[in-house]
Chains A and B, each alone.
Chain A
Amino acid sequence: MAFVSSGYDPKQPMKDRITDIGPRNYEEFYPPVIKENKGKWLYHEILEPGVLVHVSETGDEVYTVRVGGARLMSVSHIREICEIADKYCGGYVRWTTRNNVEFMVDSKDKVEPLKKDLLSRKQPGGCFKFPIGGTGAGVTNIIHTQGWIHCHTPATDASGPVKATMDVLFEEFTHMRLPAQLRVSLACCLNMCGAVHCSDIAILGYHRKPPMLDHEYLDKMCEIPLAIAACPTAAIKPSKVTLPDGKEVKSVAVNQERCMFCGNCYTMCPAMPLADDVGDGIVLMAGGKVSNRITSPKFSKVVVAFLPNEAPRWPQTTSTIKKIVDAYAKGANKYERLGEWAERIGWERFFERCDLPFTHHLIDDFRDPAYYTWRQTTKFKF
């Protein structure tokens, strides 16, 4: 493995340096039918799950075949996507905001061969490489974070629970039989890189044990003031600690009752790890949305306070999600999002319909917003 230089000279880092050029211009990457019809689209229709047509005022049409996929993607897989795009789509392809891949063709007769090819490609264990779906009133791909594949603060894995959940919800990915679209998201800790807090169903990794303190190394590994400042609940203060060998060192003390397990201290100070096989697990949230359609955007609400990490397939998490999706599918009106359904029937009824226990953890006690979630009326259901 000999080092191969790109031409960069470490002794002269500024020589021929190019910076601040930004991304490639999107116009380079538009398929011709997109370039010619941009801003002229009249309407669209979902012809079947995963297949859309957009019709332009020029009379042009673009047919899109949407496929799901793991967000974690090898270059071999991307090259296979390129091969398909070259064969059917004139060498163009795009990704959606929710990690789906879209293959576009400019006439209807090109759709069936493309679909057939996509569905014929399987992985060695039989998984689809390119499952078609993710449109309309169904479940689309799960947006998610890194988890145990690459993150330092996760309380759960991301790709694992996502694969397990999508296997369980697969029929809803390839069908459009729910009352409305159902967006599932996963963030592997409450810092929420994935901003899952406005999803119909959010899978959230959560720690439940305060950080351990590696006193002997803490002052050597960390800037103590930064660790203290990182705590959103001011639970960390400086302290002096005497080690077993009698040596006194500078360290911190944690007011454990104030800890909400966010891991911000660990981000600042690696001598404060909080991961734990039993303490860590999953919180399920439900009823959020970002669309302004009919009702305003909503936050997801915590409906299950804790489920354990059960690698590799997280059976309690996936079966609870399935239970919620089934109850929603059965009970909601056409066009009603999960949160709108819960609000219409009342959250007390939601727990009954989904067969979920209601525990004290689900009552908000964090600062101001808490009060506004309690019930200030005599109107409730028995």
Chain B
Amino acid sequence: MAKHATPLLDQLETGPWPSFVSDIKREAESRAKNEKGVEFQVPADACEDILGVLELSFKHGRTHWKHGGIVGVFGYGGGVIGRYCDQPEMFPGVAHFHTLRVNQPGGKFYNTEYLRQLCDLWEFRGSGITNMHGSTGDIIFLGTSTPQLEEIFFELTHTHNQDLGGSGSNLRTPSDCIGQARCEYACYDTQALCFAMTNEYQDELHRPAFPYKFKFKFDGCPNCCVASIARADMSFIGTWRDEIRIDQQAVKAYIGQELKPNAGAHAGRDWGPFDIEKEVIGLCPTKCMWMEGGKLMIDNKECVRCMHCINVMPRALRIGNDRGLSILVGAKAPILDGAQMGSLLVPFMKAEDPYDEIKEIIEKIWDWWMEEGKNRERLGELIKRQGFQKLLEVTELEPDPRMVKEPRSNPYIFWKEEEVEGGWQRDVNEFRKYHQR
């Protein structure tokens, strides 16, 4: 018999898609039975109370969670989000229900031994409910009490060799795409770079010293599977600067309908026979491809590496050999001053261990942002407020037409005094010798 009646939530237990309600009920049941004799450190009926409080929200159309107050583990300013229920008498099992962010492994690969260790820990010291994964990428442990925080952290670090992720005004847990681990499009080792930067900047990740949050995301190619260009203050997107490698035999096989276009992604509908002119050459954004004597030709100098032709014919076309990454800066969601997409700052940089060039750019940007950024001002907003020129100045990068879509259409140029011959100090009396008042 369930602790709380949940007639509204129960309606989410049908239909084909996995039901989170059924899953929480399963966990509630498992805790009630407690076949393994776990000495639960948060109330055994926490999952019943989660369902109860959620049912109440479904009824009221409003949340019943309060913002957290300051909770955390000693010496860290992030990784724990405080959370309290606003109906603690009705739902004592979730009266204190804090979140821990656990820094996920690169590519979100796991072995089951490790996953089970995390499950055991979270069943013992928390609600048993997780997010796999949070929006930024962390493993999210959803719901524990204040006294458990240090205990969980102690076990994570001592037994599981595992640290917390970021929250608050600090470096948020960096995340990466699957990259070279299982993708032929990856132009650099996203997992290696993500891991290196996460470890290099542990202090920034755990101890908030920034004006606001700061995100790194690592995409292996311009398909941008981790959406870095939309949501990372610094996005690292793989690219190349030489020629797309062509296998003309495979091109013929695509034309001859022997290979499925787009790696079979459109197989569920009859789109007619594959037409290379219409589907590849005609859709190329710079029209830099053509057929000549039965061969596919590419004017690589004009290619902007949008990935379309490679996506359509992965067995015929491959990324170039001279690979690296582009760095874009300033992406963010709408709060506070409207959404921003990342803007191109570094067109090309090699991504090779120990990544000194990359670190240099990161640190120059941080120095500027920490000095000039206002409270809760994201990097993108600072760039807008002080100008792209200022960004170039602090990063000591040379202006490059690749950084803009088009040059400015107003002539309101803020010339600097040192740029103007003779400077700005002039003698008005000398001027008046030739120009009457």
Contact = CB atoms under 8 A, between A and B. Distances in A.
- Do A and B assemble together? yes
Interface of A: 1-8, 10, 13-14, 16-26, 28-31, 34, 38-39, 41-49, 54, 62, 64, 68-79, 81-82, 85-86, 91-97, 99, 101, 104, 123-131, 135-138, 143, 145-154, 157, 159-160, 163-164, 166-167, 170, 173, 175-178, 181, 187, 190-198, 229-230, 232, 262, 264, 266-267, 270, 275-278, 280, 288, 290-295, 297, 299, 309, 311-313, 334-335, 366-367, 369
Nearest to B42: A1
B151 A95 contact: no
A163 B112 contact: no
B335 A192 contact: yes
Contact of B225 (A5, A8, A97, A195): A97
B130 A92 contact: no
A167 B17 contact: yes
B184 A20 contact: no
Given A136-B266, A195-B231, A20 B163 contact: yes
Given A75-B122, A96-B108, A148-B63, A311 B18 contact: no
B67 A266 contact: yes
Contacts of A77: 23, 26-27
Contacts, number: 453
A211 B130 CA distance: 31
B306 interface: yes
A129 B15 CA distance: 11
Nearest to B188: A39
Contact of B115 (A17, A82, A104, A131): A82
Q: Which 6 A-B pairs rank lowest in CB-CB distance, beginning with the nearest? A: A136-B265, A26-B106, A277-B61, A125-B13, A167-B15, A192-B333
A172 to B, nearest CB: 9
A150 B65 contact: yes
Given A197-B333, A264-B336, A18 B157 contact: yes
B423 interface: no
Nearest to B19: A127
30 contacts: A1-B44, A3-B41, A4-B124, A5-B151, A20-B206, A29-B109, A34-B181, A42-B184, A43-B314, A43-B315, A44-B314, A69-B18, A71-B133, A75-B123, A78-B115, A79-B119, A94-B108, A96-B178, A97-B108, A97-B177, A136-B266, A136-B267, A148-B62, A150-B97, A163-B15, A187-B333, A192-B335, A193-B135, A277-B61, A294-B306
Contact of B336 (A16, A163, A232): A232
Interface string B285-319: 10000000000000000000111100110110010
Interface stretch (B196-204, B365-373, B394-402, B412-420): B196-204
Interface stretch (B50-58, B345-353, B354-362, B425-433): B50-58
A42 B184 CA distance: 6
Contacts of A153: 63, 67
Nearest to A278: B61
Interface residues of B, number: 150
B87 interface: no
Contacts of A130: 18
Interface string B212-255: 00000000001111111111000000000000000000000000
Given A23-B103, A128-B17, A292-B222, A367 B198 contact: no
Interface in B106-145: 106-116, 118-120, 122-124, 128-137, 142-143
A294 B308 contact: yes
Interface in B1-20: 8-9, 11-20
A353 to B, nearest CB: 19
B17 A94 contact: no
B335 A152 contact: no
Given A13-B74, A20-B202, A39-B180, A160 B12 contact: yes
A297 B108 CA distance: 25
Contact of A291 (B15, B103, B224, B305): B224
Name which of A149, A191, A275, A280 has the most chain B CB atoms within 10 A of its CB: A149
A129 B17 CA distance: 8
Contacts of A266: 67
A16 B150 CA distance: 13
B154 A7 contact: yes
Given A78-B115, A94-B109, A367 B314 contact: no
A268 B113 CA distance: 41
B60 interface: yes
A52 B307 CA distance: 19
A131 B16 contact: yes
B382 to A, nearest CB: 15
Contacts of B131: 71-73, 146
Given A7-B154, A78-B119, A159 B67 contact: no
Given A74-B26, A99-B133, A22 B199 contact: yes
B375 interface: yes
B128 A76 contact: yes
B301 to A, nearest CB: 18
Nearest to A263: B335
Contact of B265 (A39, A123, A176): A176
B96 interface: no
Given A43-B315, A150-B65, A194-B135, A26 B191 contact: yes
A42 B68 CA distance: 49
Interface of B: 8-9, 11-24, 26-27, 30, 39-41, 43-44, 47, 50, 54, 57-68, 74-76, 83, 97, 99, 103-116, 118-120, 122-124, 128-137, 142-143, 147, 150-155, 157-158, 160-163, 173, 175, 177-178, 180-184, 186, 189, 191, 195, 198-199, 202-203, 206, 222-231, 260, 262-269, 271, 279, 283, 285, 305-308, 311-312, 314-315, 318, 333-339, 341, 375-376
A21 B162 contact: yes
B13 A123 contact: yes
B298 to A, nearest CB: 16
B100 to A, nearest CB: 12
Contacts of A294: 283, 285, 306, 308
Given A136-B264, A152-B83, A163-B19, 16 more contacts: A20-B206, A41-B184, A43-B315, A44-B184, A74-B47, A77-B26, A77-B27, A95-B108, A151-B65, A191-B334, A193-B136, A276-B62, A293-B311, A294-B308, A297-B229, A312-B11
B195 A26 contact: yes
B8 to A, nearest CB: 4
A19 B157 contact: yes
Contact of A191 (B14, B136, B335): B335
B324 to A, nearest CB: 15
B267 A46 contact: yes
Contacts of B23: 70, 72-74, 76-77, 123
Contacts of A16: 158
Name which of B47, B68, B333 has the most chain A CB atoms within 10 A of its CB: B333
B260 to A, nearest CB: 7
Contacts of B268: 49, 136-138, 175-177
Contacts of B18: 68-70, 123, 127-131, 163
A289 to B, nearest CB: 9
B17 A170 contact: yes
